[in-house]
């Protein structure tokens, strides 16, 4: 087999063998519909509830505060649209970070077309937002603030607890996209003080098409998918049972192994970055030099076209990416890099 060096785990990961093994019976043995009352369905329903508890434990939430989704993009859409639609009478102003994932940016732009007002919270050269500046931007009609916990492109970790405190003091809902964080650093929603938090199975090495939204107990959220009583009526449609089983198993393993993983990937990341910077001229590490995800490295090389470099490395069996995975074929300058002042 050809030797490969895969360095694009921020975009996609291999599913763990333990996760695959846990999922297999739910394809051809425990395949009952969890909404039915007979034993084949009730057993599956009990298994889903077990996975909900495992995902909740990973982020310090209650099981009833977890909605399973098809991934981070759906979770972000449900958080932003679910709050904005449910609380339109309260106001029509939304604030989002300037370096958000496209699923957040485009959800906000969707509301601009519905005559909501959207304010983009600017960041500094490291991609950090200023909680004091946020406080100045919040108005009586502001209903929601959304700032990612960490950037999937540049790795910077935001002061989420401080942002949440500002929103709480101003009586504004706060959502954080933690897709890049959950599975890479410890997360506790109660310590952070967030109202909603999105996560994906990909960083946990669960199957693609899996994710969840944490929503604080008592929060009113309008569903995007209307159907049956699945997910307590907040997301209609028969559940992706094998995917949920895989997500739960991956969450369980991640919770057990996270401290060791953080130490390991940080050593590898630091060694890789030092080797590249020492060997390549006109190169810069983007994002905060210290307050960043432990296994994340984002580098800019002057006068080198990103797509060409990605292709050249791939011919040598080295796999990296340029910009966000959701926009890497767009051949446009990353909005995140523009926001931090890199042309």
Among all residues, which ones are annotated catalytic? Answer: 326
Can you tell me the distance from the alpha carbon of 342 to that of 151, in angstroms, rounded to the nearest whole number?
Answer: 15
Cβ–Cβ < 8 Å for 173, 167: yes
**Separate counts of helices (H) and strands (E) for the chain:** 11, 11
Smallest CA-to-CA distance from 72 within 119, 104, 105 is with 104
Enumerate long-range contacts of 165-169, CB under 8 Å, 24 or more apart.
Answer: 165/131, 165/193, 166/131, 166/134, 166/135, 166/138, 167/134, 167/138, 167/195, 168/193
For the four alpha carbons of 124, 143, 62 and 228, in that order, the dihedral sign comes to negative
For 255, counting Cβ atoms within 10 Å of its Cβ (0-12 exposed, 13-18 middle, 19+ buried), the class is middle
Neighbours of 181 (CB within 10 A): 24
Phi, psi of 42 (to 5 degrees): -65, -30
End-to-end CA distance of the chain: 39
């Amino acid at each position: 087999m050809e030797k490969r060096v895969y360095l694009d785990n921020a975009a996609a990961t291999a599913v763990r063998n333990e996760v695959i093994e846990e999922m297999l019976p739910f394809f051809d043995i425990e395949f009952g519909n969890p909404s039915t009352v007979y034993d084949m369905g009730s057993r599956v329903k009990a298994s889903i509830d077990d996975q909900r508890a495992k995902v909740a434990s990973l982020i310090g939430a209650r099981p009833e505060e977890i909605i399973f989704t098809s991934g981070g993009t759906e979770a972000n859409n449900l958080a932003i649209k679910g709050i904005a639609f449910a609380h339109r009478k309260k106001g029509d102003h939304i604030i989002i970070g300037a370096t958000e994932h496209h699923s957040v940016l485009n959800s906000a732009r969707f509301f601009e077309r519905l005559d909501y007002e959207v304010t983009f919270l600017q960041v500094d050269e490291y991609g950090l937002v200023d909680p004091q500046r946020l406080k100045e931007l919040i108005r009586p009609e502001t209903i929601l603030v959304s700032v990612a916990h960490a950037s999937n492109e540049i790795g910077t970790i935001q002061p989420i607890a401080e942002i949440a405190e500002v929103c709480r003091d101003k009586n504004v809902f706060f959502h954080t996209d933690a897709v890049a964080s959950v599975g890479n650093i410890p997360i506790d929603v109660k310590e952070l003080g967030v109202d909603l938090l999105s996560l994906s199975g990909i960083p946990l090495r669960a199957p693609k098409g899996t994710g969840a939204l944490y929503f604080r107990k008592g929060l009113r959220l309008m569903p995007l998918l209307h159907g049956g009583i699945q997910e307590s009526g907040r997301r209609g449609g028969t559940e992706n049972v094998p995917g949920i089983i895989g997500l739960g198993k991956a969450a369980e393993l991640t919770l057990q192994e996270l401290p060791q993983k953080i130490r390991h990937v940080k050593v590898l990341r630091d060694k890789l970055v030092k080797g590249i910077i020492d060997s390549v001229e006109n190169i810069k590490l983007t994002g905060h030099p210290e307050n960043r995800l432990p296994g994340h490295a984002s580098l800019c090389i002057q006068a080198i076209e990103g797509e060409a470099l990605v292709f050249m490395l791939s011919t040598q069996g080295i796999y990296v990416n340029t910009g966000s995975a959701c926009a890497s074929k767009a051949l446009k300058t990353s909005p995140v890099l523009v926001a931090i002042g890199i042309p």
